[in-house]
Amino acid sequence: MEKNILSEINRNREIMGLGQLLREEVSAESIKLWMNSDGADASPSIRELIKKLTKFNLINTKINGGTIWDALNKAFKTITGKDIVDDNGDGTKAAFAGGQWGTGMGTMGDKVGKAARILPLLDDGTTRIVSKELKLSKDTPISPAELISRINEFNINNAGDEQLVRLSPFGIYKEYGNSTRVISKKNKDTVFLWSLDRTTTTRNATKDTKVPGQDIAGDVLMTGLGDNYQDLQIVVSDDSKVVEIKTKMESHVKQGGTIDSIVITSTASNTGLDTDKMTDFSNMMKKEGMGDYVNVSTDKGTTGDFTIDQVDTTDRALAVARGKILAKQLGVESNVTYKFSITDGPKTVNISVKGTSPDKEGEDVNVKGSVEDGISSKQEGDNTQIRPRIMWTQIKKRRFGGKISDALGTSTGSKRLNRS
């Protein structure tokens, strides 16, 4: 790669902080540059991958609070044990290897459109989903955008193992209690990425062209913390999760971005409380500054949404206390919107932060091909249903024979690396 590109990467590392841009010492920017230059030059599969990521508007998506390049590298390293690029920004033999990055639409083996199926929407634009992997029940409707975000996060985190690959057919929607199931499948060498139907315009940067930055609005982060609370607990067990969320928000602002909205959704299971545990419950509430909730009813209540002024049971008090304490830990009490609910499913505590990325200086891109930045306009059809799109990409673990060929310099990856 050209020296000026590497200098720019190193400058970005210093300015923006290694901790936010890198995974295991590899920057998202260096992966993006390699994918669009040497990688695309050497492999038609990578060129096709970039086209599909752009077409499905995954180029600009956030997964686990990072970019698509971060996400791909995490999945790649989980499966292969290698990064996509080395410390110099050059592709590794594993990334150049034959068979890597093959892509397709829909679920493998199914016709396009059949695999994704539709999401029926409620009047408020949400949809009812049942998924044990995502810990979602039909009693807690979710927006399509949040659902897609959580599916992608799950699939990247579970690369090489379980993948969420399709929705249940609309024909059995009523059979599942007017809800849709997300179907999973074991897949050791394929990662599935979901998106909503969108139209995309792109801007191309050819060789030596300077690309101006643009404001891209979207998710800063979306994280679920439900698993970090015990049944009778209102403070998160692992506070490193809270520190991670706070660090990402602060880093986003330091880099010139804005935080436009923060939504904390907290639900509790409709179980009621054993009266013998009421003293411990009251002491816990007092200790955490939630004295208003020490004398509420221990009975089971009704399921559904409620407001912060309608806390009359221990279950509702748990949901509200978890949300309010999380906001206090993050230092966002005055800027947060709460959503509280009681469900028949497991408890959930989710935080969604939306904002705008900063204008950034144009990048001096030295590539033989092009760099495409998708600018999207969501096309969700009518207000009754939406059809997600699914693409998959292959990431194959290097087997013994491939490693030997790499060492001898006779493998496809070695030859492509030498040519680059």
Residue 322 to residue 325: CA distance in whole angstroms:
5
Residue 405 phi, psi (nearest 5):
-65, -35
Confidence label for 98 from pLDDT (cuts 50, 70 and 90): confident
Of 104, 115, 111, residue with least CA distance to 55: 104
CATH of domain 217-356: 3.30.1330.60
| DSSP annotation string for 258-310 | EEEEEEEEEEEES----GGGHHHHHHHHHHTT-GGGTT-B-S----EEE-TT-
**Rounded to 5 degrees, what are φ and ψ at 221?**
-165, 160
365-375 tens-digit pLDDT: 333 333 333 32
pTM of the predicted structure, to 2 decimals? 0.51
Domain boundaries, the chain: 1-101+396-420, 110-197+380-394, 217-356
pLDDT at residue 363 above 50?
no
Angle between helices 314-330 and 278-287 (to 10 degrees): 20
Burial 330-349 (b: 16+ CB within 10 A, else e): bebeeebebbbbbbebbbbb
Residues in the chain: 420
Backbone torsions φ then ψ of 151, nearest 5 degrees: -65, -45
Torsion angles phi and psi, residue 23, rounded to 5: -125, 115
Higher pLDDT, 416 or 190: 190
Q: What is the pLDDT of residues 264-279, one digit of tens each?
A: 999 898 999 999 999 9
Q: Which of residues 363 and 109 earns the better pLDDT score?
A: 109
The one-letter amino acid at 283: N
pLDDT band at 62 (very low <50, low <70, confident <90, very high): confident
- pLDDT digit string (tens) for 164-181? 999 988 778 877 788 999
- Residue 178: count of CB within 10 angstroms of its CB: 11
The pLDDT value recorded for residue 69 is: 92
Average pLDDT, the chain: 76
